Amino acid sequence: MSAEEAFAPARFAAAALPSAAASTASASGYAAGYAAGFTAGSRAAAEQAAEAERRR
């Protein structure tokens, strides 16, 4: 086995790391954005319900 063949898996793994990190960051960013949007939507719905209750 040549040195080129011996280090091929390590080079492949090193090349895949930035892609995996970007994918993970994207997924966690999506989850954080979803949670923030859900929280804001829930807050808005609660405020609307409270306003409707006050109008009664």
SS3 56: coil
Q: Does 15 have pLDDT greater than 70?
A: no
Calculate ∠ Cα 21-26-32, nearest 5°. Answer: 125
Chain Cα centroid distance, residue 10: 27
Q: Does 56 have pLDDT greater than 80?
A: yes
Residue 46 pLDDT class (50, 70, 90 cuts):
confident
Q: Where are the alpha helices (DSSP H) in 1-56?
A: 3-55
pLDDT for the residue 4: 62
What's the rounded mean pLDDT across residues 46-53? 88
pLDDT for the residue 16: 62
Residue 34 pLDDT class (50, 70, 90 cuts):
confident
